[in-house]
Structure 1
Amino acid sequence: MSSNPQNLSGNEIRTLFLDFYTQRGHQILPSASLVPEDPTVLLTIAGMLPFKPVFLGQRTPEFNRATTSQKCIRTNDIENVGRTKRHHTFFEMLGNFSFGDYFKEQAIAWGWEISTKVFGLSPNNLVVSVFEDDDEAYNIWRDRIGVKQARIKRMGADDNFWTSGPTGPCGPCSEIYYDFHPERGDENIDLEDDSRFIEFYNLVFMQYNRDASGNLTPLQNKNIDTGMGLDRMAQILQKVPNNYETDLIFPIIQTAAQIAGIDYHVSDDKTKVSLKVIGDHVRAVVHMIADEIRASNVGRGYVLRRLIRRVVRHGRLIGITGEFITQVAERAIALSESAYPNVRQREAAIKAELQREEVNFLKTLERGEKLLEEIIQEVKQQGKTSISGESAFTLYDTYGFPLELTQEIAAENNLTIDEAEFDAEMEKQRTRAKEAHETIDLTVQSSLDKLAEQINVTEFLGYTQPAATAKVEAILVEGVSQEEAEAGTEVQIVLNQTPFYAESGGQIGDRGYISGDGIVVRVEDVKKESDFFVHFGRIERGTIRVGDAVTAQIDRACRRRAQANHTATHLLQAALKKIVDDGISQAGSLVSFDRLRFDFNCPRALTAEEVQQVEEQVNTWIAEAHAAKVEVLPLAEAKARGAVAMFGEKYGEEVRVIDFTGVSMELCGGTHVSNTAEIGVFKIISEAGVASGVRRIEAVSGPAILDYLNVRDKVVKDLSDRFKVKPEELPERITTLQTELRNSEKQLATLKSQLAIAKSDSLLQTVESVGDYKILVAQLEDVDPESLKSAAERLLQKIGNGAVVLGSVPEAGKVSIVAAFSPEVNKKGLQAGKFVGNIAKICGGGGGGRGNLAQAGGRDASKLPEALEQGRSELKSAFS
């Protein structure tokens, strides 16, 4: 222990906490990934989350006592980050846990001991809270620990009764608060006053189970779940005004400030908020990417992308216009690597992902700036003085414009923002965010909850049996449980056992039939709901009833196709790792009967040569006839052997391993060929990008190859017949036709331009003189945009000092407008781009270009005369 606990670093606090509980029989366990095993939660949001199966009684713990420092991410109150003293997206929760071992008295005693003896906090600075009805905890604090009665506060269920959902394990809790101002006395202590108090240690006494009626029943095993905020303890011990100025995060803030060329300590409040947001969010995204989360537009990938974009936005607010995140990330990596070595190991991936997202978003911001300019011009034309809150929110949500930046630019144009409407839109977004995966639900979820206690779970026999006798456990029609259903009805059927594979791991469900005495049900799909296999189909004959004995038979031809395609995805991933990059990992897949799709993480497109090499490698392995070895192993042993796991997939303590020796070994619950030779042949159809950093390969294999070749052969024969050439002569014939077409298009464009010029020469007699300038505004019929532009340039040359504005309707529903200004017109402050863009809005369009020549489009041809007249009027006004 440090000789002076008040000078402890964040790393020392973490070490002292873990050592304290290790000395008291606790097993130190590593932090779990930010991607939780629990599918009901998007990200790891609490220290107890990795132990949820233990608290539920679903898993027997290896140790009765454990201690951890758990990485967590929460974004439900993201707008408070940087604005309050202690809101974060990323934080570390120090915890000690008891699984049916010690309980309240020991947890309270150790909580007080580590706070006062190890971290040196004076008892005079501590206040504790207990649940209002928890006399046991109250008495322990008062009589066993010796806390003054005035500094023990009873609080209601909202504050001091921990629940994770409407049902499941729960219990009262007791919290320890630090009092920054004990000199204010013990009268009227208000723990909600965060200027005086900070809660830093929460002790949860998980002793009850709540049923659906709200009744509490004592648990057989009482558990302890605690959490001490590392950032909060660092703030207390380092005597800084907020969590952000501790050594855990402030160096990151200082790095951002240096890049911006500012001093945090003398900055105004808004600048400090932006610096805090950057520091917090960069720390969060570094750990998220280290745990292999990739930016995307869905799920946790969207959370990552949103955080990165907030960093960029706040960087703009403090004057940073170029790329900077990777520089700040380097500081965050350096701060974290001693406790979390994976951040340094994943440094290259972290920086690559951040740079890619930052560059893409900077381009989006540029588009937002252009949109804001259009909004401002439209508001001015309408004679308004305020930009709508909805428009400001669109800029914020879609283009990353902070409200403050929109307000600043609007103010430069003497406009305001409807903040009330903006706040209303923001509140809608917050509500949506809070509804998405931000609670820990300890209840067992299933769409068959009402039947769960009445029917048996489904036993899967499909790895070895294509058919099986079974009993009908349940029948659902349009989601409603029925005792029977007759011919013609769409049904969902649950059997006690089945050979049908249920959709999982990218592989679609089997097809086939369920039959019995006078009964035939065509099964079109199978899905798994909790432990029940639900067979979706249509009754073709007879009436099926709950309790019926039936035969379930899969379509073997479909199964063989799925097996070939699924094994092909394993070989494909192995080939990509071997030929392209060993760091490639699966990002998703589809295994269908007619094709396969494999998504993988890769920052660049594959070359044509690489695609060919990958295809050849897969076919080589197929020809080598590698036999499949299928084993069920403990997860740790499977990983130790080198089995590849799909990132984000949830695995139990035992896993099924598919091993094609020397080629591929993966954790997989799907169906596969017994030997690669059964696949026959493999063909890549396409390789393309589907998201930032994610590529997709589509391919066919096995029997589906024949379908693919038949389609291609039909197309080739049809083209050969049309062009009257042999198949091998098709490329040359098409190249010749393309060349002829390009030449014809050039000739046509020349003729159109000449025709437009001929038409436009007749307009010279309509030229108007206004002062020293000449104006020509007219409409030409059936002239394409390029020809219209050529005509405008020629007319301007002929009239000299002035402006030419031409409009045309080259095809139904489209408007084209061109403006050409002489240098003298530009000197008066008129720009062709802004001018033509404004009048095009009358036609429901827009556009722009250079100051001397610009073009715009529109959708409403009936408004073209009005737009041209508006242009004429503006020019006359400017020139007079």
Structure 2
Amino acid sequence: MSDYPQYLSGNDIRQKFLDFYAQRGHQILPSASLVPEDPTVLLTIAGMLPFKPIFLGQRTSEFKRATTSQKCIRTNDIENVGRTKRHHTFFEMLGNFSFGDYFKEQAIAWGWELSTKVFGLPPEQLVVSVFEEDDEAFGIWRDKIGVQEARIKRMGADDNFWASGPTGPCGPCSEIYYDFHPERGDDNIDLEDDSRFIEFYNLVFMQYNRDAEGNLTPLANKNIDTGMGLERMAQILQRVPNNYETDLIFPIIKTAAEIAGIDYAKADEKTKVSLKVIGDHIRAVVHMIADEIRASNVGRGYILRRLIRRVVRHGRLIGIGGEFTTQVAESAIALSESAYPNVRQRENAIKAELQREESRFLKTLERGEELLTEIIQQVQSKGETQISGESAFTLYDTYGFPLELTQEIAAENNLTVDEAGFDTEMQKQVERAKEAHKTIDLTVQGSLDKLAEDIQATEFIGYTQPVATSKVEVLLVSGVSQEEAEAGTDVQIVLDQTPFYAESGGQIGDRGYLSGDGVLVTIHDVKKESDFFVHFGRIERGTIRVGDTVTAQIDQACRRRLQANHTATHLLQAALKKIVDDSISQAGSLVSFDRLRFDFNCPRALTPDEIHQVEELVNSWIAEAHSAKVEILPLAEAKARGAVAMFGEKYGEEVRVIDFQGVSMELCGGTHVSNTAEIGVFKIISEAGVASGVRRIEAVSGPAILDYLNVRDKVVKDLSDRFKVKPEELPDRITTLQNELRTSQKELETLKSQLAIAKSDSLLQTVESIGDYKILVAKMEGVDPESLKTVAERLLQKLGNGAVVLGSVPEEGKVSLVAAFSSEVNKKGLQAGKFVGAIAKICGGGGGGRPNLAQAGGRDASKLPLALEQAQNELRSALG
């Protein structure tokens, strides 16, 4: 092997790369934000992404040549982070770019010169790859550069045809690999062998555009897009076994190890993986927050939250009990600030976001871990290998456990998670929460924070005025401040005054529209952020600009529905206190256009009679036409008068009191009818438990009653037509059908069992005698689990002293197994439950039961013959 190349720090490598291309006419440009301009990409994933419009010919570049060190985030291989030598979520891509200037020959020549002359890599330790159809590149490497043919490898499109995504600029590429073991020779070179080779420089000959159908068309100009992995070159030049132990990452790992009281050099592999995950993820997190990404449950905010939680989780795995992320973040900031000054400038924001997210997660993590441990123990005790989707969703929904974290911990225990089942539970929640609006986009919040000093708080005039003449103070598109926006654009608008009620106190925001000189904006939602009302809408026609005067008009029909439903919740709470228990208090609510939902503290379910009485009382109050009295009172006076406040809610010194005299008096900022008679009628749809000690009533009132009745009437008519009976005869007809179905099912089960027993007699011919024992192991076609159990018991009775193991595939994709052992077999140490559970694992399942009789199941029917063969061999061995 040649002398090892010179040692260079990560900062030196970056600077030498940029200087090399600057000396060759390239403009050094700063790294773009991790939040890309390209709306089709969530995060900046490659050095070329900021130049995509130039490659596509959509924008003209000021420079023909450019060079950058671009920070990138990729999470598609997140499970490999820390486990391989060079997988990362955050990495830096050193790149040189040509926009219709030089092409293949020059790019290859400079790439070789940089690698061998500047970085000092011995030519005999370099191997290159080219796209299998690119004879031109192959010829340049061989004839111009002088690389031996044996060290030029042709590779397919998966490896050497580069694209930034399914559509967009693309082209063949050529990669340069460093060979750590050239002494192994040139025969049978396998570039996939990462113990020997590392790919560090990718030269992309960007000459095509791929459309949605996969068609390639030549770009207007032939371009060059290259990428050198900074971390990979650092591994080579710093003589370390992996990217994590370079000076770009290892100081962070060392900080985490010191906090945990661990000597990295002496740590086991599992501990090192956790330390590497922390080192990698904290770099990603620091730069994401520096680029003004905030944690949330959607989009790039969810990626940030997921990474932070993985850092905390791996901290716990290596014994760190308290908060620590801000300490390792300081190490990451110190490492990056010379190249990326914004990380130090945003230091306070970075540490505040980390502290907030870590604190929140730690509060739920401990209980979630305990519950997951219980779930894992239950699954393993049953001999199963999969955590249910329902259990995984409970961890996610109640304890903040991301699915990926549950999968990760499950894998550590050799278990999987039913991801399809999780998705089903998630969809159920989405359907339940359709009326509960999405929280305000954090990008909106961030933009408003910046503009807060320049605009006044929104004045709400909607209690008394449905229409207002307003001025557009702020215009946002996807959370980004704009001066104007055109038809077809989704926008968020802040007005100086508004009649639109913003979502609050369980009541959703108003709908309506903004109109002006040639412009119309439909408003589908309104939320309050700090002191600003944010109107979410879509421009239907014209152009709207900051400073425009518009007419703001609420949809009064929708408002009337909200008023009816909101007042109905007040009457409902008053009725519950009178009929059920005076100590009942509100635990949450939703006031929507089509229904209302009221959660209340109660240790038991309501009886049907109580539900009927509550409904009757509310309707009597509606009929009595109680007028509303609205007052603004000091909080102490309002409480002294008996106004009901929501437990845990924070109120100011003065409060708004809604008093339907003689019936209900509550502190409330929502919109209400002026007289209960306006509600019309009230109907309870359901009553159920939603949490320990919390019940939920769903109901409809006012105009929504007609919608509810129309749906019910359509269902009743449809059933009447199907069963050919009058509506009042439906209950009796359904009861008759249910009884007939139960009888038929019993008869069918009896027939199945009789058929299986009849088939079983033929199995006696396959009985095998082993000393004093007789064993029977067989497969029965299409026999259900219950019948299979009956057959096994019957066969064992005929065998006497012995063992029976039967298998069946009762339906596609499912395996049923049963084992029946005599007491003499039990005395030999064999127990049916443990035996059949172990056999079922071969079919991807598990099970168990009593020592003499047990059942199990599986998911892989193709493995049933193998499982039965294994059962036969084990019985022969144990009883022989």
Other structure's SS at 1:462 match: coil
Q: Which residue of 2 aligns with 1:647?
A: 647
Matched letter for residue 450 of structure 1: K
Q: CA shift at 1:830, angstroms?
A: 2.1
Q: 2: distance between equivalents of 1:810 and 1:607?
A: 42
Matching of residue 746 in structure 1 with residue 743 in structure 2: no
Other structure's SS at 1:642 match: coil
Deviations 1:669-689 (A, max 9, x none): 110111111111111111111
Q: CA shift at 1:858, angstroms?
A: 1.1
Other structure's SS at 1:669 match: coil
Deviations 1:258-278 (A, max 9, x none): xxxxxxxxxxxxxxxxxxxxx
Matching of residue 797 in structure 1 with residue 793 in structure 2: no
Q: 2: distance between equivalents of 1:503 and 1:615?
A: 27
Q: Residues 870, 538 of structure 1: CA spacing in aligned structure 2 closer, same or farther, 3 A cutoff? A: same
Q: Residues 718, 371 of structure 1: CA spacing in aligned structure 2 closer, same or farther, 3 A cutoff? A: closer
Other structure's SS at 1:612 match: helix
Q: Which residue of 2 aligns with 1:583?
A: 583
Cα contact 2:562–2:592 (8 A) shared by 1: yes
Identity %: 80
Q: CA shift at 1:523, angstroms?
A: 0.4
Q: 2: distance between equivalents of 1:667 and 1:300?
A: 30
- Give the TM-score of the pair, scaled to structure 2: 0.52
Q: How does 1:314-353 map to 2 (within 5 A)?
A: none
Cα contact 2:458–2:497 (8 A) shared by 1: yes
Matching of residue 487 in structure 1 with residue 487 in structure 2: yes
Q: CA shift at 1:828, angstroms?
A: 2.5
Q: CA shift at 1:489, angstroms?
A: 0.6
Q: Which residue of 2 aligns with 1:820?
A: 820
Q: 1: distance between equivalents of 2:347 and 2:751?
A: 86
Q: 1: distance between equivalents of 2:345 and 2:857?
A: 64
Matched letter for residue 507 of structure 2: Q
Cα contact 2:382–2:848 (8 A) shared by 1: no
Q: 2: distance between equivalents of 1:634 and 1:644?
A: 14
Other structure's SS at 1:488 match: coil
Cα contact 1:447–1:529 (8 A) shared by 2: no
Other structure's SS at 2:652 match: coil
Matched letter for residue 734 of structure 2: I
Q: CA shift at 1:718, angstroms?
A: 0.6
Q: 1: distance between equivalents of 2:704 and 2:642?
A: 31
Q: Residues 873, 371 of structure 1: CA spacing in aligned structure 2 closer, same or farther, 3 A cutoff? A: same
Cα contact 2:779–2:807 (8 A) shared by 1: yes
The unaligned stretches of length 5 or more in structure 2 are 1-289, 291-343, 349-357, 387-391, 402-411, 415-443
Q: 1: distance between equivalents of 2:385 and 2:536?
A: 54
Matched letter for residue 519 of structure 1: V
Q: CA shift at 1:826, angstroms?
A: 2.2
Deviations 1:168-206 (A, max 9, x none): xxxxxxxxxxxxxxxxxxxxxxxxxxxxxxxxxxxxxxx
Deviations 1:663-705 (A, max 9, x none): 2111111101111111111111111112222211111111000
Q: CA shift at 1:603, angstroms?
A: 2.0
Q: How does 1:462-481 map to 2 (within 5 A)?
A: 462-481=462-481
Q: 2: distance between equivalents of 1:453 and 1:720?
A: 65
Q: 2: distance between equivalents of 1:303 and 1:631?
A: 40
Q: Which residue of 1 aligns with 2:718?
A: 718
Deviations 1:775-803 (A, max 9, x none): 11111111111111111111111111111
Other structure's SS at 1:673 match: coil
Q: Which residue of 1 aligns with 2:572?
A: 572
Cα contact 1:523–1:536 (8 A) shared by 2: yes
Other structure's SS at 1:793 match: helix
Q: Which residue of 2 aligns with 1:705?
A: 705
Q: Which residue of 1 aligns with 2:96?
A: none
Q: Residues 702, 305 of structure 1: CA spacing in aligned structure 2 closer, same or farther, 3 A cutoff? A: farther
Q: Residues 709, 374 of structure 1: CA spacing in aligned structure 2 closer, same or farther, 3 A cutoff? A: closer
Q: Residues 485, 763 of structure 1: CA spacing in aligned structure 2 closer, same or farther, 3 A cutoff? A: same
Q: Which residue of 2 aligns with 1:755?
A: 755
Other structure's SS at 2:699 match: strand
Q: Residues 417, 749 of structure 1: CA spacing in aligned structure 2 closer, same or farther, 3 A cutoff? A: closer
Cα contact 1:446–1:529 (8 A) shared by 2: no
Q: Which residue of 2 aligns with 1:684?
A: 684
Q: How does 1:12-23 map to 2 (within 5 A)?
A: none
Deviations 1:818-868 (A, max 9, x none): 111112222333222222111111111111222221111111111111111
Q: 1: distance between equivalents of 2:469 and 2:772?
A: 97
Q: Residues 304, 483 of structure 1: CA spacing in aligned structure 2 closer, same or farther, 3 A cutoff? A: closer
Cα contact 2:565–2:592 (8 A) shared by 1: yes
Q: CA shift at 1:214, angstroms?
A: 10
Q: 2: distance between equivalents of 1:529 and 1:878?
A: 72
Matched letter for residue 857 of structure 1: G
Cα contact 2:379–2:385 (8 A) shared by 1: no
Q: How does 1:506-585 map to 2 (within 5 A)?
A: 506-585=506-585
Q: 2: distance between equivalents of 1:446 and 1:644?
A: 35
Matched letter for residue 715 of structure 1: V
Q: Which residue of 2 aligns with 1:777?
A: 777
Other structure's SS at 2:842 match: helix
Q: Which residue of 2 aligns with 1:727?
A: 727
Q: Residues 378, 787 of structure 1: CA spacing in aligned structure 2 closer, same or farther, 3 A cutoff? A: closer
Q: CA shift at 1:538, angstroms?
A: 0.6
Q: CA shift at 1:460, angstroms?
A: 0.3
Q: Residues 589, 215 of structure 1: CA spacing in aligned structure 2 closer, same or farther, 3 A cutoff? A: closer
Q: CA shift at 1:580, angstroms?
A: 1.7
Other structure's SS at 2:665 match: strand
Deviations 1:612-636 (A, max 9, x none): 1221121121112111111111112
Cα contact 1:597–1:698 (8 A) shared by 2: yes
Deviations 1:437-459 (A, max 9, x none): xxxxxxx9865111111222110
The unaligned stretches of length 5 or more in structure 1 are 1-165, 167-211, 217-297, 314-360, 380-390, 401-415, 419-443
Q: How many residues in Structure 1 have an aligned counterpart in Structure 2?
A: 482
Q: Residues 763, 560 of structure 1: CA spacing in aligned structure 2 closer, same or farther, 3 A cutoff? A: same
Q: Which residue of 2 aligns with 1:807?
A: 807
Q: Which residue of 2 aligns with 1:867?
A: 867
Deviations 1:799-821 (A, max 9, x none): 11111111111111111111111
Q: How does 1:99-110 map to 2 (within 5 A)?
A: none
Cα contact 1:500–1:554 (8 A) shared by 2: yes
- Give the TM-score of the pair, scaled to structure 1: 0.52
Q: CA shift at 1:371, angstroms?
A: 3.7
Q: How does 1:159-174 map to 2 (within 5 A)?
A: none
Q: CA shift at 1:306, angstroms?
A: 6.1
Q: Which residue of 1 aligns with 2:615?
A: 615
Q: 2: distance between equivalents of 1:471 and 1:817?
A: 73
Cα contact 1:446–1:530 (8 A) shared by 2: no
Q: 1: distance between equivalents of 2:385 and 2:741?
A: 42
Q: Residues 301, 720 of structure 1: CA spacing in aligned structure 2 closer, same or farther, 3 A cutoff? A: farther
Q: Which residue of 1 aligns with 2:736?
A: 736
Q: CA shift at 1:571, angstroms?
A: 1.2
Cα contact 2:796–2:803 (8 A) shared by 1: yes
Q: 1: distance between equivalents of 2:782 and 2:413?
A: 43
Q: CA shift at 1:550, angstroms?
A: 0.6
Cα contact 1:632–1:657 (8 A) shared by 2: yes
Matched letter for residue 634 of structure 1: P
Other structure's SS at 1:448 match: helix
Matched letter for residue 569 of structure 1: T
Matched letter for residue 732 of structure 1: D
Deviations 1:468-519 (A, max 9, x none): 1100111100111111111111001110000000011111100001001111
Q: 1: distance between equivalents of 2:643 and 2:839?
A: 64
Q: Which residue of 1 aligns with 2:656?
A: 656
Q: 2: distance between equivalents of 1:747 and 1:604?
A: 40
Q: CA shift at 1:305, angstroms?
A: 11
Q: Residues 776, 299 of structure 1: CA spacing in aligned structure 2 closer, same or farther, 3 A cutoff? A: farther
Other structure's SS at 1:696 match: strand
Other structure's SS at 1:721 match: helix
Q: 1: distance between equivalents of 2:643 and 2:458?
A: 28
Q: CA shift at 1:464, angstroms?
A: 0.4
Matching of residue 628 in structure 1 with residue 599 in structure 2: no
Q: CA shift at 1:587, angstroms?
A: 1.5
Matched letter for residue 685 of structure 1: I
Q: How does 1:284-323 map to 2 (within 5 A)?
A: none
